[in-house]
Amino acid sequence: MRIREPFKLAAVGVIGFWLMAFALLPNLLVAVASLLERGGDEFVAPILTLDNYRRLLDLLYLGVLLDSLWLAAATTLLCLLLGYPFAYLLTRMPARWRPLLLLLVIVPFWTSSLVRTYAMVILLQTNGWLNQLLLNLGWIAEPLELLYTEPAVIAGMLYALLPFMILPLYAVLEKLDRRLIEAARDLGAGRVTIFRRIILPLTLPGIVAGCLLTFLPGLGMFYVADLLGGARTMLVGNLIRDQFLSARDWPFGAAASVLLTVLMGLLLWAYYLSARRANRGALP
């Protein structure tokens, strides 16, 4: 124990420092900036104001927020519909194949998601691979307009986020006690009843976790909308980036960031509450 105490202290210290320096401090800076006025050369002027938040209530920006919520929600739903059966099938595979299949789910992470999004452009553009394939097969007479559409944005986000849905679902489905399913069959339940009354409620924590892990990043993924959606879709992520990099209105960009952070915080809090309720009285 004596040897382990300093190690524990060092580990906690490093993590604590890391979180303070690279998570808490920047967020505090953003929160402070959002309450200041736009300045000249220094980007912010030290005058307190709520003006930035008032501007966010503008219909234009509310529309941006709603668009972002809609895209993230649609992506999340698609991820869930694809990811749930996928994760379920993974758990049904022979045990010695599962690590390899999980690895295949994770492999895309080894490449930057920006690079992967560019790859999607090559696939989807007017003379891209997908159109070429469909033309060669004779299924279409002229190239489809795939790139710079909302479905393209959703496809790009789906591709980037699907593993975040599959992994938590796999974790809960893997843990699911097969004997409970046998018990339900023994009591006369058919497939639909077993899924609805046993499997779904018992995997709900994984579903919620997966949805959060796709929905929250989905809200801020500006580069996917940029590259695959063209200039047509303006999302919260794009808005923030533009305020900082193009419009040079740091306080307003900061206010939008704070709004996004608060929104995500609320969702996480809701998740925490639901998880606590689900755990009450559960078997150890």
Where do contacts with another protein occur on this chain (CB under 8 A)? 177, 179-180, 182-190, 193, 197-198, 201-202, 278, 280-284
Task: Measure the CA–CA gap between 56 and 65, rounded to whole angstroms.
Answer: 10
The β-bridge partners of 44 are: 38
Integer CA distances (angstroms), 275 to 46, 138, 173, 269, 272, in order: 42, 51, 16, 10, 5
At its nearest, how many Å lie between another protein and the CB of residue 86?
A: 24
Residue 198 Cβ vs another protein, minimum distance, rounded to whole Å: 6
Location of structure tokens 């891209």: 128
The nearer residue to another protein, 174 or 182, going by C-beta atoms, is 182
Cβ-based nearer residue to another protein, 137 or 282: 282
**Three-class SS of residue 103?**
helix
Beta-sheet strands, E only, within 41-179: 44-45
Structure tokens at 205: 């924590």
DSSP state of 58: S
Shortest approach of another protein to residue 83 CB, angstroms? 22
Instruction: Kindly tell me which of 142 and 186 has the beta carbon lying closer to another protein.
Output: 186
DSSP strand pairing (44-45 vs 37-38): antiparallel
User: Could you give the CA distance from residue 200 to residue 44 in angstroms, rounded to a whole number?
Assistant: 50
Tell me how far, at minimum, the Cβ of 179 lies from another protein, in Å.
Answer: 4
72 within 8 A of 80, measured Cβ to Cβ: no
The nearer residue to another protein, 157 or 202, going by C-beta atoms, is 202
Instruction: State which residue, 15 or 275, has the beta carbon closest to another protein.
Output: 275
Rounded to the nearest whole angstrom, what is the least distance from the CB of residue 23 to another protein in the complex? 35
Nearest in space to 218 (alpha carbons), one of 255, 264, 152 = 264
Q: By C-beta, is 59 or 187 nearer to another protein?
A: 187
What are the C-alpha distances in Å from 162 to residues 1, 75, 77, 209?
Answer: 42, 9, 11, 13
CB of 145 to another protein, least distance (A): 48
* Range 218-231 burial, b when 16+ CB lie within 10 A, else e: bbbbbbbbbbbbee
- Contacts for 59-63: CB closer than 8 Å, 24+ residues apart: 61/239, 61/256
Query: 6 vs 188, which CB is nearer to another protein?
Result: 188
Rounded CA separation 190/273 (Å): 32
Whichever of 46 and 281 has its CB closer to another protein, that residue is 281
Q: How far is the CB of 92 from another protein (least distance, A)?
A: 16
CB of 187 to another protein, least distance (A): 4
